[in-house]
Structure 1
Amino acid sequence: MSAGRVGARWTPPYGWSADSHDWRRAVSGAMMAGERRRVPPSTDNLPSETPRLQVPAVEYLAEVLATSEDDGRGDDFYGLLCETTTRLTSLRRAVIFRYDSARRRVRLAGGFGIDVGDFEDMFVTVESAPVARWALEQDRVIDVAEGLDAAVPVEYAQRFGLANIVCVPMVARGRWIGVIIGDRDARAPTLQMGERELLWTLGKTAALASMARVATRQHEKALQLEQRIDLARAVHEGVVQRLFGVSLALSGELELDSETRERCAEEVQQALVDLRTAISRPLGRSATRTHATLASEVERLRHAHPDLAIAVDPGVAISAPAELEPLAQSVLAEAIRNAHKHASPTEVRVRTASEHGAFVLEVTNDGVDGSAKRAGMGLRLAALDALQAGGLLEFGMRGERRWQVRLMVPRTPAE
């Protein structure tokens, strides 16, 4: 790992130990002192090279952290964080890559000074961008001015005209959240210690903000689980009990009189009403909101699983209605995951169509043996998503060695 200044370990000035927290305590103390007084923090007791984190910097961060994902696009928060990073440091462009646990991939979360659309066809990992692994493993800012080919793929450096790279780790409690990657003017001086520490702090801020959002989503999932338990209880106490009583009456050996038959019919009708009422409630789970398209997700999965030979019908575009994109992508991902885990296909074919006023998505693989009898929990939960959208998800064997997942959602003429 000899790329420019990558391998050099920095030494804090004035004899401070790199392994101690004196440096960071001094900086964080200055930040807290300045915030309490609402004036720039005093630097009388700090070395002259200590980064001066003024109140405007703190206010910038506070403004960004107050941004909610519900205020428009979910990527706005990370885009603002990139913009703030360029305002406070010498970076002229910055992007944030973070791991998306829902989609199980590293994705571009936001950027500033660069067209984020240029990254749509790029599949970035810590293997393809070694500089990210170096920064995350060492939990420190890495700047590369020479030997870029050892830090990032050559085509990336040429495509974006990179003369140097600064990679900031987003690490919280040892967990790799993502990285901030930016570049500086080719004529810029060597990255100084004060700016390096400021970038490190910004990376920690981004990591903690991401963890806070993860905690919020975990709380939402807990509430959803409670709703699902309530739904199961309502079905059991209403529908199941009524149908159980009807089954007892019908299983008797005595012939039923007209009054009993009428009572059984009423109980069955009431059970249907209870069931319809129960499933009309929110089912406590919805597909994750996404800004990608079904077509781009097919391409991503094709790149991620080359062994599955994912194919589409020639000349037929893969697309889904905008309001059904999250559901369609969720079903597609689950179908591909099942094919990768439980089958050995020579081909996985994906097809979309509009049939009789309904959107249809089919994913078929030809590598299932005769032992595949039941679907997993993922497909069953996806079926609940389809019900909530007013559609139907079917899955099962289709001939010899063929397993198909088929989503169908009726659409009104207005849609």
Structure 2
Amino acid sequence: MTTNTTEEQGTGRLRRLVPAALPRRRTRSQVERLRRLTAWMLGIGIFLAWVGPLGWFANSTRPVPVLSWSLGLLGLAAFTVLQVRVIRAALEGTTAHREVAASGAVALAVLLVQDGHLLAWGLIAPAWASGAALVLNRSATLAATVVATGAGLYLMWPDAWAAFYPDQETFGGAIGGYVAASLTVPWMNRFQLWFWEVVRAAEAGKAAQAQLAVTEERLRFARDLHDLVGHSLSAIALKSEVAAKLVKSDTGRAAAEMDAVRGLAREALKEIRTAVRGYRTVDLEAELHSMTAVLEAGGIRCALEAPPDGVPEEEATLLAWVAREGTTNVLRHSSATRCRISVTVHGGTAVLEMVNDGVTGTGVRGGTGLIGLSERLAPAGGTVTAGPGRPGEFRLRATVPLEGAR
């Protein structure tokens, strides 16, 4: 039985040396990646607050007032810190009303000390509204959007449009663009946050469902154990008490009671062993569909092929353990986007094969899980092999001879 070749072992030793100088990057889950993407998307207000002034500064031919610009940049730095705290609170589902009020005060101060293009310093107003929308309800968001738009237009309205715009048409386009940005960006942020909350709720629901399944299984096992041995243990206790009372007066009957106790104990032990054997038996078809659902929930397209007539119970249980370990390895040790699981029966042998892409690294991750599978299948004459398939793929293959072919 082979799990790693000599070349793979050498590569594994080399890879173990790498973390000392270059730590591996932890693979993030789909939900973690979506959370990071959502955080960046919600930061569009910060982007607007900075890109307007810096873009105007890069293209302006007028002299820049050093004092007002220095104050404005300091205000933008404080505004950015407060907005980041608002975004973090929104993603965590907490409140940040003080940060919203403080960032609003900073934005107002920046508007008061600056003059110029609406699409320069004036963009800090819709930037503030986009952050406030994350922690306010719909009515308050609408009010904040209208107030921010009005404040930006009033405070940044130029005394003479010709000082900043080449013609009236350009001036009108700037006003239209400013109003459009002010009224749409906050609601775009609310939609993005709503989408994240839906995903988070779905993930929490899956975790709660898994925990509930574990709890139900424990309760079922407790009920089965009580039903199996509860009566036998009660009878054993009662007969033992009778035998203890009769041991001095009627030893023959006491011995008979103890024989009955021994018989009850053996029967209870037999029932427990039968129950445990039943719990160890795994439904391969149900297990394969469960593993497929887990992989697809992780964003991995999964194709399943199973024999129409199924696999005998003993061999099916062994292959189910292989499917569990293989699924765990795909989720933990790869960045797979697709996985194929096939179970076939031919020549008196049941074969399970899992192939996935997204292999991270050149070596084979043959840890204690694969070693344990090899040891589990060995008594039944089974084998487990794991290693690279086609370029960029990893293949796990398990074979178990059927009982009649051994």
Give the TM-score of the pair, scaled to structure 2: 0.30
Higher relative contact order (CA 8 A, sep 6+): 2
Q: Which has the higher strand share?
A: 1
Q: Which has the higher helix share?
A: 2
Q: Which has the larger radius of gyration?
A: 2
Give the TM-score of the pair, scaled to structure 1: 0.30
